[in-house]
Amino acid sequence: MAEYSAPLKDMRFVLDNIADLASLSKLDGYEHAESDVVDAVLEEAGKFASNALSPLNKSGDMQGSHVKDGVVTTPDGWVDAYAGFVEGGWNGISAPEEYDGGGLPSAVALATVEMWNSANLGFALCPLLTQGAIESIIAHGTKEQQDKYLKKLVSGEWAATMNLTESQAGSDVGALRSKAEPAEDGSWRISGQKIFITYGDHEMSENIIHLVLARTPGAPAGTRGISLFIVPKYLVNDDGTLGERNDLKCVSLEEKIGIHASPTAVMSYGDNGNCVGYLLGAENKGMACMFTMMNSARLGVGTQGLAIAERAYQQAVEYARDRKQGQAPGMPKGEMTPIIHHADVRRMLMTMRANIEAMRCLIYLNGACLDRAHHGPDEDARTKAMGMAELLTPLSKGWCTDLGVEMASLAVQVHGGMGFIEETGVGQYYRDARILPIYEGTNGIQALDLVGRKLGLQGGEPVKNMFADMQETVKALAEAGDEMTAMSMQLNLAVTALKEATDWLYGNAPNDPHAAPAGATPYLRMFATTVGAHLLGRSALKARAMLNDGATDTDFLKSKIVTARFFMGQILPTATALLGPVTAGADTLFAIDEELLSA
Amino acid sequence: MAEYSAPLKDMRFVLDNIADLASLSKLDGYEHAESDVVDAVLEEAGKFASNALSPLNKSGDMQGSHVKDGVVTTPDGWVDAYAGFVEGGWNGISAPEEYDGGGLPSAVALATVEMWNSANLGFALCPLLTQGAIESIIAHGTKEQQDKYLKKLVSGEWAATMNLTESQAGSDVGALRSKAEPAEDGSWRISGQKIFITYGDHEMSENIIHLVLARTPGAPAGTRGISLFIVPKYLVNDDGTLGERNDLKCVSLEEKIGIHASPTAVMSYGDNGNCVGYLLGAENKGMACMFTMMNSARLGVGTQGLAIAERAYQQAVEYARDRKQGQAPGMPKGEMTPIIHHADVRRMLMTMRANIEAMRCLIYLNGACLDRAHHGPDEDARTKAMGMAELLTPLSKGWCTDLGVEMASLAVQVHGGMGFIEETGVGQYYRDARILPIYEGTNGIQALDLVGRKLGLQGGEPVKNMFADMQETVKALAEAGDEMTAMSMQLNLAVTALKEATDWLYGNAPNDPHAAPAGATPYLRMFATTVGAHLLGRSALKARAMLNDGATDTDFLKSKIVTARFFMGQILPTATALLGPVTAGADTLFAIDEELLSA
């Protein structure tokens, strides 16, 4: 099993041609994101991922994290790897320069997030959550809070966690019961138990800043009565030094199917009545603050889906080149053929490759939209970009994490019997990937977000804009001719079906409360796959243009066209066929009584 | 987590209406398979599965099997459970009565195999392999071999294994190197190492009969030079008592993603030059003998896919009824709704249910075809039934095991965060299921078997017969009218597309050696899903007829119609859409050079 190798060329191609890095580097605050700087950053990140993180992936899985007396021990090598991560400045490369961040666009940062997670998903979860906390404190913190916490979080000297879930409050966050009572000094006293807290405790950073959702006295029921609190593991003195240990602790860790290295903690706050927290944002507006954090985290988790698929793909290709079985047509007689030459194996590899390239387009574009939403030249541009970013987020999270599982499973299959043996390593990706469709909002929740919120966002403008973009690709492919003609027709069929499904949802959701939820999951799949095809179509057009302009890297550029053709011909048709399932309504879903379902 | 509960009513419905039990019980040798006998057998089997096997499933997974000094220890409870299994007469219920078997049709036996595997897949693998050996010795053994081994194997006092794989010979069985040298007494001396040997050693049965593929001196290369040998763990004296320990041993066990309880052994034969084996069938005809065993095992493994999906479904329904989150439309205000009332959760459960019912139809029908192939009234009927059984086998193995993984993954998703925690138990199904698309011929091999052998079998008669059956269902659904009309149209679209794909394969495979392998995997999916829809359509027609005849079990019968509608509307369309992918040819598969794939 070789170590992970960052696909720098593919990443750069997507940054240039889909995220439009050149235009990002013209935005206020991103001027230094010049081509050679980005190249250097990606190259260095690739080295760190391959050399420092990837070698710990399997040993971390086997060893796992453990808790004793409330103190979590991470696997061997974790503390040093984290120190190297902080030292390299990787933790804050997209954070604002005023907090000592790198000030790079999110699109570029996401390429590094992809690398950390391909190399070692169990490790990379820790900085992923810190990232969400940074964004939340930037958006909602007071000046004092920002001064107190941001530089340390940006550097990574302090890590952060996200505390939503309680045993009775999972997807239904509004059901949480943790409490916050005001103290005389203006701070709050937090009490309650939280579950599924990723990196709830560890010794890699000198402090951990927990962001905790809780209810204040007399708060309204449901999500409208939730407030967000900053709850440091060690209280922070006014001079920035660490004070006393706060009254919170890790009670236990979960035994999980995968990501064994990542400690998933049950956290208890205020067992001794003295857990100090500080309100972040306004009282009862915790959900809004949490959504800042969650949107960032959702895109991050989508990136994890892409990342695990990429890692699994690399290993599958390597195995398929080494392993010899049988004899493929046209290969030398009398010797066994490397299985990469068998059509069915090649189908699996191309399926992974095409999906990975489509996911990367979607994820980096989503990041670029966020960059434009925050740094765009004017209010209109920023609003438009934010609408698109918000529309794409459930697609990134839902589709890329479903595919993460599916592609990891396919990589196991490429390995045959060896795929089921833990030693091979590919099984870890299959186990690790399974959390991705669940956490940061299950993919069912993502689908509901898409049909329930995103279709109507900004009066439907982002959806209209996406359709306009897709139709432009259909047209450009048709105009390009040759092998692009078939792609144009295939994409057009998909866009037309998606439009019909969308119109059906707009038409039926207002009258039938079950209509949109019933079709939400296949609709997300259909939407995301069609967007993926559109972006690969755009990639193919760019590659063709470069070839026409005499670019020398012909094999690479031609491969971009092949991947697009494969995606349109092999993957897109089943998504297009979801029109019927999306628009069937809830009738057959509920036609069998629940009693009989379990009979 | 409740124990498994056998879905007796569903099983019986499929046996009656799809496998046509009434007609099976009219065949020579199956006269005693009367309705009340079958009911009693299924009911007792259900009790044993629930009470004896299911409670050991999770503990067996946690404890696993272990090897020390060549002796394998199975998890606590395994030895007693196996003794109970033997005592109950479950091991040989479909074996001929002359060997003390139950003489029941395979279709009925498969219902019990489903139960054992739903209850405890890691346990049930052991008798699954014994079953294959029984069939192989019946088909190819000498009278002496049959007398010596069959009664003990049928009772289960002795277990059996299947030894094909060597490290360089997986899918490519012909590459194996194990040797057999003739001895003076007419027996053979076996030497070589085999890997992935399920239940290669254990102490549950007093003897283990290994069936081992090896090469005799001067044998031709490849699969035409392979012979099959009976290699007992303890040699068997002429009076049937056990003699000395044979020269074979378990070297080690694999660490696997799942089925931890099932010992997957590396077996070494003849380390001391004295491993005694007996030729089974003719020299160099081992592949034919092994195929007898494999075809049985492939249908058994397909049944495992169905079984794990059923178990995962039961647990998902139970969880969805208990777990409350959020508020579904139309449910009581001010309280949380059991998630089973959320449309998206219901979609996941119905997807599992519909796929499970379709798989059960396919598997039991496949079993019934085997019964008619062996007990049919005349040569023509037997040949026709065997053709259908052989056509269905790769569909049963390939489709049902892919779905086993997919449905187990869906059951994890229904559980949300709890699904990722080992304690919940559903994660075990996700881990266990992953071996099913791999062993007994990877699903890629199944797809190649379908396009390469089964399409042309008997001059294409079985395929023609299946199309005729499907078109009859299309017609009958149309004639039935009402909600059956839409089903008829949906099924007709699918059958028409499948016909087109089939014709394309018939037309292109002879000229392009890559054409059929390139489309094989989506073709298998398309074929099996269409057959599944056809069988559910037939179920719906039968249910409707019974309702029209005044049957009283109206809710149950109506649910059969709903499931068929759901399958046709929600699951079938994406299979129909595989026409394009199947008929695209190998062009894009091989258009990117292997070097660039790993760049």
Residues of A in contact with B350 (CB under 8 A): 588-589, 592
Among B257, B483, B490, B554, the residue to mutate for chain A (most A Cβ within 10 A): B257
The reply to whether residue A325 touches residue B586, judged by beta carbons under 8 angstroms, is no
The reply to whether residue A165 touches residue B254, judged by beta carbons under 8 angstroms, is no
| C-beta separation of B209 from B256 below 8 A | no
Same domain as B483, residue B437? no
Report, as an integer, the average pLDDT of B251-273.
Answer: 98
The reply to whether residue A196 touches residue B590, judged by beta carbons under 8 angstroms, is no
Q: Distance between CA atoms of A141 and A147, rounded to whole angstroms? A: 9
- A·B CB contacts under 8 A: 268
| C-beta separation of B323 from B315 below 8 A | no
The reply to whether residue B314 touches residue A598, judged by beta carbons under 8 angstroms, is yes
Which residues, other chains included, contact B456 with Cβ-Cβ below 8 Å and sequence gap of 6+? none
CA B479-B480-B485 angle, 5° bins: 85
Q: Read off the pLDDT of residues B514-541 as tens digits, 9 standing for 90 and up.
A: 999 999 999 999 999 999 999 999 999 9
Among B565, B592, B596, the residue to mutate for chain A (most A Cβ within 10 A): B592
CA distance B24 to chain A (A): 27
The reply to whether residue A344 touches residue B447, judged by beta carbons under 8 angstroms, is yes
- Domain with residue B235: its CATH number is 2.40.110.20
The reply to whether residue A255 touches residue B417, judged by beta carbons under 8 angstroms, is no
Give alpha helix (H) positions in A549-598: 554-566, 572-576, 579-582, 587-590, 594-597
| C-beta separation of A263 from A173 below 8 A | no
The residue behind tokens 């007469």 is B89
Same domain as B394, residue B304? yes
**Residue A582 located in a structural domain:** yes
- Closest CB from A326, A350, A580 relative to B588: A350
Q: What is the pLDDT of residue B294?
A: 83
The reply to whether residue B513 touches residue A596, judged by beta carbons under 8 angstroms, is no
pLDDT class of B598 with cuts at 50, 70, 90? confident
Residues of B in contact with A416 (CB under 8 A): 170-171, 438, 442
Same domain as B263, residue B342? no
Segments of chain A with pLDDT less than 50: none
Q: What is the pLDDT of residue B406?
A: 98
Report, as an integer, the average pLDDT of B385-396.
Answer: 98
Q: Distance between CA atoms of B354 and B540, rounded to whole angstroms? A: 12
Same domain as B146, residue B76? yes
pLDDT class of B288 with cuts at 50, 70, 90? confident
The reply to whether residue A521 touches residue B344, judged by beta carbons under 8 angstroms, is yes
Which residues, other chains included, contact A435 with Cβ-Cβ below 8 Å and sequence gap of 6+? A256, A257, A258, A259, B420
| Nearest chain B residue to A433, by CA | B420
Q: Distance between CA atoms of B284 and B279, rounded to whole angstroms? A: 10
- Closest CB from B165, B565, B598 relative to A321: B598
- Closest CB from B321, B342, B570 relative to A598: B321
Same domain as B470, residue B550? yes
**Residue B132 located in a structural domain:** yes
- Closest CB from B353, B431, B588 relative to A597: B353
Give, for A418, the enclosing helix (H) or strand (E): none
Beta strand pairing status for B188-198 and B207-214? Answer: unpaired
> What percentage of residues in chain B have a pLDDT greater than 70?
100
Which residues, other chains included, contact B29 with Cβ-Cβ below 8 Å and sequence gap of 6+? B96, B97, B103, B375
Point out the domain boundary residue: B441, B471, B504: B441
| Nearest chain B residue to A585, by CA | B343
Nearest residue to A317 (alpha-carbon basis) of A346, A278, A342, A359: A346
Residues of A in contact with B591 (CB under 8 A): 559, 562, 565
Residue A161 identity (one-letter amino acid): T
Residues of B in contact with A594 (CB under 8 A): 317, 321, 338, 340-341
- Closest CB from B318, B437, B570 relative to A598: B318
Report, as an integer, the average pLDDT of B256-264.
Answer: 98
Q: What is the pLDDT of residue B1?
A: 63
Residue B549 identity (one-letter amino acid): D
Q: What is the pLDDT of residue A457?
A: 97
Which residues, other chains included, contact A215 with Cβ-Cβ below 8 Å and sequence gap of 6+? A176, A177, A178, A179, A180, A225, A226, A227
CA distance A587 to chain B (A): 9
**HEC secondary structure over B225-263:** HCEEEEEECEEECCCCCEEEECCEEEEEECCECCCCCCC
- Domain with residue B411: its CATH number is 1.20.140.10
**Residue B385 located in a structural domain:** yes
Burial letters A350-384, b for 16+ CB under 10 A, else e: bbbbbbbbbbbbbbbbbbbbbbbbbbbeeeeeeeb
Nearest residue to B355 (alpha-carbon basis) of B317, B423, B309: B309
Q: What is the pLDDT of residue A81?
A: 98
Same domain as B42, residue B186? yes
Q: Distance between CA atoms of B364 and B351, rounded to whole angstroms? A: 20
**Residue B464 located in a structural domain:** yes
Q: What is the pLDDT of residue B289?
A: 87
The reply to whether residue B556 touches residue A596, judged by beta carbons under 8 angstroms, is yes
CA distance A46 to chain B (A): 14
pLDDT class of B2 with cuts at 50, 70, 90? confident
Same domain as B427, residue B495? no
Q: What is the pLDDT of residue B296?
A: 85
Q: Tokens at residue A94, please?
A: 């997209």
Q: Read off the pLDDT of residues B220-230 as tens digits, 9 standing for 90 and up.
A: 999 999 999 99
Same domain as B477, residue B429? no
Among A588, A590, A595, the residue to mutate for chain B (most B Cβ within 10 A): A588
- Closest CB from B256, B416, B593 relative to A170: B416
| Nearest chain B residue to A165, by CA | B417
| Nearest chain A residue to B327, by CA | A172
The reply to whether residue A565 touches residue B588, judged by beta carbons under 8 angstroms, is yes
Q: Distance between CA atoms of B63 and A314, rounded to whole angstroms? A: 33
The residue behind tokens 């449910």 is B331
Q: How many domains does chain B have?
A: 3
The reply to whether residue A444 touches residue B521, judged by beta carbons under 8 angstroms, is no
- Closest CB from A518, A596, A598 relative to B559: A596
Q: What is the pLDDT of residue A1?
A: 63
Residues of A in contact with B408 (CB under 8 A): none
Q: What is the pLDDT of residue A369?
A: 97
Q: What is the pLDDT of residue B209?
A: 98
State the helix-helix crossing angle for B483-508 and B554-566, rounded to 10 degrees: 40
Phi and psi of A389, rounded to 5°? Answer: -60, -40
Residues of B in contact with A564 (CB under 8 A): none
Among B350, B355, B508, B598, the residue to mutate for chain A (most A Cβ within 10 A): B598
Residues of A in contact with B429 (CB under 8 A): none
Residues of B in contact with A342 (CB under 8 A): 444, 517
The reply to whether residue B417 touches residue A165, judged by beta carbons under 8 angstroms, is yes
Report, as an integer, the average pLDDT of B358-370.
Answer: 98
Q: Could you give the maximum distance between any two Cα atoms of chain B, in Å?
A: 85
Point out the domain boundary residue: B251, B284, B317: B284
**Residue A479 located in a structural domain:** yes
Catalytic residues of A: 440
The reply to whether residue B420 touches residue A438, judged by beta carbons under 8 angstroms, is yes
ipTM score assigned to the predicted complex = 0.97
Q: Read off the pLDDT of residues B464-475 as tens digits, 9 standing for 90 and up.
A: 999 999 999 999
Q: What is the pLDDT of residue A288?
A: 87
Residues of B in contact with A566 (CB under 8 A): 588-589
> Can you tell me whether residue B18 is helix, strand or coil?
coil
**Residue B87 located in a structural domain:** yes
Phi and psi of A159, rounded to 5°? Answer: -105, 175
Catalytic residues of B: 440
Tell me which residue range forms the domain holding B543: 459-587
pLDDT class of B375 with cuts at 50, 70, 90? very high
The reply to whether residue B559 touches residue A196, judged by beta carbons under 8 angstroms, is no
**Residue B448 located in a structural domain:** no
Q: What is the pLDDT of residue B496?
A: 98
Residues of A in contact with B573 (CB under 8 A): 577-581
> What percentage of residues in chain B have a pLDDT greater than 90?
95
- Closest CB from B255, B416, B520 relative to A438: B416
- Closest CB from B329, B347, B593 relative to A555: B593
Q: Read off the pLDDT of residues B164-197 as tens digits, 9 standing for 90 and up.
A: 999 999 999 999 999 999 999 999 999 999 999 9
Q: What would the DSSP string read from start to end of B104-128? A: --HHHHHHHHHHHHHH-HHHHHHHH
Residues of B in contact with A397 (CB under 8 A): none
Among B9, B310, B346, B403, the residue to mutate for chain A (most A Cβ within 10 A): B346
Q: What is the pLDDT of residue A292?
A: 79
| Nearest chain A residue to B435, by CA | A420
Q: What is the pLDDT of residue B266?
A: 98
Same domain as B305, residue B280? no
**Residue B407 located in a structural domain:** yes
Residues of B in contact with A325 (CB under 8 A): 170-172, 175
Give, for B276, the enclosing helix (H) or strand (E): strand B276-280
pLDDT over 80 at B599, yes or no: no
